[in-house]
Chain A
Amino acid sequence: METVISHPLFVPLLLALCIIAFAPLAVAGTVLLERKVLADIQVRLGPMRVGPHGVLQTIADAIKMLLKEDIIPDDSNKGMFKFAPVISFFTAAICLTVVPFSERLRVADTNVGLLVVSAMSAVGILGIILGGWSSNSHYSLLGSLRSAAQLVSYEVALGLALISGVMAAGSLSMVEIVRQQQARGIWFVFDNYGLMILPFVIYFISSVAETNRAPFDLPEAESELVAGYHTEYSGFRWGIYMLAEYLNMFVVGSVAITLFLGGWLRPFPNVAWLEIPMNYGVPVLFFGLSGLWCLPASRKLPSAIHKAGLVFIGLCLILVAAVFAIPVANAALSAPFWFFFKLATFLYVLIWMRGTFPRYRYDQLMDIGWKRMIPLGLAAILLNALVGILRT
């Protein structure tokens, strides 16, 4: 047993299995969160029927998708139609393998980690194009062409924004990038006297476009194109596309966090006296207070089972808070806590944007991409390179 645990491949293999197993669950959670937050923004209740306050809605949806009839259009290109969602999913999953969740908690640390991510998102475009083409439907084809044009355009701006970050770190390895931020005691967004905020903003806008999300969700503009490239997909194949889309959200969020927001580092990594309040105080308060809130909130629920369930969840959260208070556990858990806390915040901002902004027109989209983002990205590289040289 000891030899198994200390084997160099033990953590990577276990984590890879965990990613494959938990990614769909995390996606289900994100979908539910998205529906609930959007409903809250629009003063609705959102899904309420399945389970208490609709918390089981996405699980029910997933089961429904698994059991649905798998419809393949007669005139479609059958082999390609079946294979296209696979490309989308596996490119998104591969991107997650180079993301370090903490110093030790990672699948692989290649010295071209960031390039692997951009290579895989480039290959991921093929999944969308082939899916749209093989459906043999005008809506799908138009949606996929739009999507591919958008992805190719924004990939340039995304790459330019990444270059600024890589320049600051001096490495393409994701772990090394975070270590550099640790060594300098600053998140890269605030580096170079605040100039790095420019590439971060460019990266953020381009990554929203890369993930085909509002306000850049033209590829699946329901009112114009039915559902874009996956119009003809149904059941589980459609589910795989959906899974890939949400995984891509996780990926762009993880890359933004690693490159600009300090990866697994706590806020203010250079201020030593914040060590205890940040690594112990924040998680304990976060889980503890949400757990404590559950106990009085359970009284308002209608049925006894729901009450018991919420009390149970509250007690579990308090238990998690207690675990964070143990020094040994805290040393191992505080880094992933900060990573996932930042990731959750990133996802929340994406959902918030979806509830806030109207969709851009196609010409506006291209205008932003080519005439604003790319020149700005080039300017950001030049500025940060100059400042970086002058500082040293």
Chain B
Amino acid sequence: MLDTMFFYMFALLAVAGAILTITMRSAVHCAISLIASLAGVAGLYLLQKAEFLFAVQLVLYIGGIMVLFLFVIMLVNLDSAAKERQFHRRWAGGAVAAVLAGASALWLLSKGAPSFGSPVAQAAPSPDGNVEQLADLLFRQYLVPFELASLLLLVAIVGSVLMAKKRTS
């Protein structure tokens, strides 16, 4: 009962935040709406007993990425951009796209309808907790892809430092 209430609360937060992100005018308000949406998703993770994902979502997305977004938005003056008209009034194209997207979503939903009713058999949560399970998977079974991903990030960091450095030749 309480879970269902929290589910709808977080879901509403996530969806409303996402909608406001694309409809707000001021860039800072967009960023804040995005933060609300991400927080809602984090709450949904928590309801699914994925505490690790919840914490990492908060640390990385809200504490890291969104703070940097806000930084850039506040340092770059976007007032003039906010005053411009941000919507193209191409109603015909928009309507066609909306109908197509809605129709495809409906078709997919009707195709997958049988699986909605019966709850999928859930694996019992392990006594270890899923942080340990996740660590085992990441650092034993998928160690090579994990290290490759970190190598990719390292390349990105070195590249960005190189680009930001002043050329003194």
Interface residues in chain A, defined as those with a beta carbon under 8 Å from any beta carbon in chain B: 77, 80, 110-112, 115-116, 118-123, 125-126, 129-130, 133, 141, 145, 148-149, 152, 155, 172
Contact = CB atoms under 8 A, between A and B. Distances in A.
Contacts of A149: 71
Nearest to A125: B67
Given A80-B32, A122-B58, A126-B35, A155 B51 contact: no
Contacts of A77: 28
B70 interface: yes
Nearest to B51: A112
Given A145-B75, A152-B67, A123 B62 contact: yes
A273 to B, nearest CB: 37
Q: Which 5 A-B pairs have the closest CB atoms?
A: A122-B63, A115-B55, A119-B58, A111-B129, A112-B51
A155 B63 contact: yes
B1 to A, nearest CB: 15
B56 interface: yes
B67 A118 contact: no
A77 B74 CA distance: 14
Contacts of A155: 63
Of listed B52, B54, B67, B75, residue having the most chain A CB within 10 A: B67
Interface in B64-81: 64, 66-68, 70-71, 74-75
B131 A112 contact: yes
A249 to B, nearest CB: 19
Contacts of A133: 28, 70, 74
A125 B63 contact: yes
Contact of B67 (A112, A115, A129, A141): A129
B75 A118 contact: no
Contacts of A121: 63
Contacts of A118: 55, 59
B153 to A, nearest CB: 14
Contact of A111 (B51, B58, B70): B51
A152 B55 CA distance: 17
A149 B75 CA distance: 13
Among B28, B32, B63, B131, the most chain A Cβ lie within 10 Å of the Cβ of B63
Contacts of B54: 112, 119
B169 to A, nearest CB: 26
B137 to A, nearest CB: 17
Contacts of B63: 119, 121-123, 125, 155
Given A80-B32, A145-B74, A111 B59 contact: no
Given A126-B67, A145-B75, A112 B55 contact: yes
B102 to A, nearest CB: 33
Range of interface residues on B (Cβ < 8 Å): 20 to 34
The majority secondary structure among interface residues of chain A is helix
Nearest to A117: B55
Contacts of B129: 111
Nearest to A115: B55
28 contacts: A77-B28, A80-B32, A110-B51, A112-B51, A112-B54, A112-B55, A115-B51, A115-B55, A118-B55, A118-B59, A119-B58, A119-B59, A119-B63, A122-B63, A122-B64, A123-B58, A123-B62, A123-B63, A126-B35, A126-B70, A133-B28, A133-B70, A133-B74, A141-B74, A145-B75, A148-B67, A148-B70, A152-B67
B55 A126 contact: no
Interface of B: 28, 32, 35, 51-52, 54-56, 58-59, 62-64, 66-68, 70-71, 74-75, 129, 131
Contacts of A120: 58
B70 A115 contact: no
Contacts of B62: 122-123, 126
Contacts of B75: 145
A145 B59 CA distance: 19
Given A115-B59, A119-B63, A122-B63, 5 more contacts: A110-B51, A112-B52, A119-B55, A129-B67, A148-B67
Nearest to B56: A115
Contacts of B28: 77, 133
Given A111-B51, A130-B32, A145 B71 contact: yes
Contact of B70 (A110, A122, A129): A129
B71 A122 contact: no
A155 B62 CA distance: 14
A141 B73 CA distance: 12
A95 to B, nearest CB: 12
Contacts of A126: 35, 62, 66-67, 70
A123 B35 CA distance: 10
Contacts of A141: 74
Contacts of A116: 55
Contacts of A122: 58-59, 62-64, 67
Contacts of B74: 129, 133, 141, 145
A42 B113 CA distance: 75
